A and B are shown apart, each in its own frame.
Chain A
Amino acid sequence: MASTLATPDSVDDRVSTRSVGVRLLSRPEIGSLVGAAVILLFFAATAAPFRDINNVGTILYGAALIGVMAVPVSLLMIGGEFDLSAGVAVTTAGLTAGIFAYQFSVNVWLGMVVSLVVALAVGAFNGWLLMRTGLPSFLVTLGTFFILQGLNIAVTRLTSGAVASNSVGDMDGFSSAHAVFASQFKLGGITVKIIIVWWIVFVAVAAWFLLRTKVGNWIFAVGGDAAAARAVGVPVKKVKIGLFMTVGFFAWFTGMHLLFAQNGVVQSGEGVGKEFLYIIAAVVGGCLLTGGYGSVVGAAVGALIFGMVQLGVVYAGWNPDWFKAFLGVMLLLATIVNLVVKKKAEAR
């Protein structure tokens, strides 16, 4: 206890200052960055189309589709919970907007507002039930996952008689909504889908929010030690319910992209299994499954890894059947690299 007994202005000489390099290595996202670099070099070397600048837009689009949802999922994971219903909630949001607008023959934007309310309500319900019962989030959101999956298919079949919702492609407000959620533009030869821009904006805002605001600090605290956070006056329940509602908001956003990118039609069976991709992106990005540690930027890099592998396999001319297996291996490797780098940095 020499350090606590030391006279006030003496400097503790047991701890040497750490170099910038080591401090950089102790960031949560560093493992994913190393993994992303390895995968980038690997595919750049083995697949010629991967090096083609025109394909950058396609790769980023694949990454953004996962990446937008990886933002709230990583925040939620840092807050100590996870949401298995996140994948089907996206489909629910898309279907709600489409079905509501079609059935009531109203402006698409009105359907979107209703959908937003539903998506936020699903998040709030998850959070509320979790806080009310104290059950693990695995069970609560697994329940919501099945409820939503069933409702998606049942309600769609009830209204349209098929497994896909009726198209809202020719309805009022479609073109303006399409411009916001699913348009694209050219940038120096690269076709950029607007969701990529949104993704970058969301990551930047969420990263700032997490590290530089009061509530961001609380997210780390409720994930790290909820009892400790509550004891110093952090509103743990509000923070956690807020996090689930954030997942709801982003599910709505991704659902809107889905709806408008597919000409106003949403397949009711879509989204199953996506929740794991979001979670994987967050974990590869350095989020601890147990909460209290992680990074939004890391989760974005995790999504980027996903996008690169997904298209890299195709560009390398391999049978796409191998994609999932390859993806699994890549993800395990990235996670292990993550772990090793983190341990090394901590040991120094």
Chain B
Amino acid sequence: MTTTTSFDHEAASSPTMPVVQLDDVGKSYGNVQALRGVSLSVRQGEITCVLGDNGAGKSTLIKIIAGLHEHSDGVLTVNGEERQFKSPRESLDSGIATVYQDLALAPLMSVWRNFFLGNELTGRFGTLDATRMKRIATEELTKMGISIPNLEQPVGMLSGGQRQCIAIARAIHFGAKVLILDEPTAALGVKQSGVVLKYIVKARDAGLGVVFITHNPHHAYLVGNHFVVLKLGRVALDTHRADITLEQLTNEMAGGSELEALSHELRDIDAGAVVRPADRPAQIQSPLEST
């Protein structure tokens, strides 16, 4: 925790104003405090990585910014204005687009219908302008370097990487100023993750403020400008890229001292050993009992 620097201090000196700012934001579900005193700034043209283990509060954090949940404490500021989002629509209307872990695409609907879902183009008498929508979808996807030969194809038939890219391209097309990505690489292979990371950088280059939520410090370090590590609903680390190395980040992510203890425990294990079936003990003992 030695590398922690104040984010608010930077915010004041940075040339760009933060688009989205969280001040001491908290969220409790009944007696469970999922998020406590979280402060965070998102600036345009920067990638802010939010890291944390399962249950650290990452999802709660983005759900507040995306308007799926209302925060119960603290202040959420968007473009210098204090906000409390009651629906995803309100969040979208203030320029925040979220690409969810579960993709937010309807699997049985075609690519172009998904691309324009919630933002349909209509002609006379409220008719859908299908030709124009298909053309724009093709253009936008091509711009991102995604080639989908048949836009009538149901989205469910595409690969996970392709679906992520459609969701990102859609967010960029509809004029998002802030793009929130919820574990976009979690379910993907190495190559597909690379493709998605490339689009994250493209989104940043397009001037968007990107919030990249992940539990993979390696992916985060490849693209991130700022790193915020959440632990048990609190900010455990908040630092700039220049002030941290990948090793430190990984260490912090894994719980620092906890990882050290774990490596100490695992030291006696012969990692290189190959056990033949005959040598195998009849029963697997709990490691707690054996110590």
Name A's B-contacting residues (CB within 8 A).
1, 3-12, 14-15, 18, 211-214, 216-218, 220-221, 224-225, 227-235, 288, 292-293
B128's partner among A6, A11, A214, A292 (CB-CB below 8 A) is: A214
Cα distance A328–B147 when bound, in Å? 46
A221's partner among B92, B109, B126 (CB-CB below 8 A) is: B109
Whether B108 lies near A232 (C-beta < 8 A) is: no
Known: A3-B146, A3-B162, A213-B126. A231 touches B104 (CB 8 A): yes
Chain B interface mostly: loop
Known: A9-B142, A293-B108. A213 touches B127 (CB 8 A): yes
Whether B195 lies near A213 (C-beta < 8 A) is: no
Q: Which residues of A contact B120 (CB under 8 A)?
A: 214, 217
Cα distance A1–B118 when bound, in Å? 28
Shortest CB-to-CB span from B138 to chain A, Å, is: 10
Closest to B160 in A: A1
Whether B149 lies near A15 (C-beta < 8 A) is: yes
Shortest CB-to-CB span from B108 to chain A, Å, is: 4
Q: Which residues of B contact A18 (CB under 8 A)?
A: 150
Binds A, one of B4-12, B95-103, B201-209, B237-245: B95-103
Whether A224 lies near B107 (C-beta < 8 A) is: yes
Whether A225 lies near B107 (C-beta < 8 A) is: yes
Cα distance A18–B126 when bound, in Å? 31
| Subset of 19 A-B contacts with CB under 8 Å | A4-B192, A6-B145, A8-B143, A11-B149, A14-B149, A18-B150, A211-B128, A212-B127, A213-B126, A214-B120, A216-B128, A217-B113, A220-B109, A221-B106, A225-B105, A228-B117, A229-B106, A229-B118, A234-B118
B146's partner among A4, A10, A213, A225 (CB-CB below 8 A) is: A4
Shortest CB-to-CB span from A214 to chain B, Å, is: 4
Whether B117 lies near A221 (C-beta < 8 A) is: yes
Does B122 lie at the interface of the complex (its beta carbon under 8 Å from any beta carbon of A)? yes
Whether B88 lies near A10 (C-beta < 8 A) is: no
Closest to B166 in A: A4
Count B interface residues, CB 8 Å. 42
Closest to A222 in B: B106
Shortest CB-to-CB span from B258 to chain A, Å, is: 34
Whether B162 lies near A4 (C-beta < 8 A) is: yes
Known: A1-B192, A234-B117, A234-B118. A225 touches B106 (CB 8 A): yes
A3's partner among B66, B102, B113, B148 (CB-CB below 8 A) is: B148
Whether B104 lies near A232 (C-beta < 8 A) is: yes
A1-B159, A224-B106, A233-B89 known; 7 other A-B pairs, CB under 8 Å?
A1-B195, A214-B126, A224-B108, A225-B107, A231-B100, A232-B119, A292-B109
Give the residue among A18, A225, A230 with the most B Cβ atoms within 10 A.
Answer: A225
Whether A11 lies near B106 (C-beta < 8 A) is: no
Closest to B97 in A: A232
Q: Which residues of A contact B113 (CB under 8 A)?
A: 217, 220
A7's partner among B66, B88, B119, B145 (CB-CB below 8 A) is: B145
Cα distance A216–B128 when bound, in Å? 9
Closest to B143 in A: A8
Whether A213 lies near B128 (C-beta < 8 A) is: yes
Whether A227 lies near B145 (C-beta < 8 A) is: no
Q: Which residues of B contact A5 (CB under 8 A)?
A: 145, 195
Known: A9-B142, A229-B117, A292-B109. A4 touches B102 (CB 8 A): no
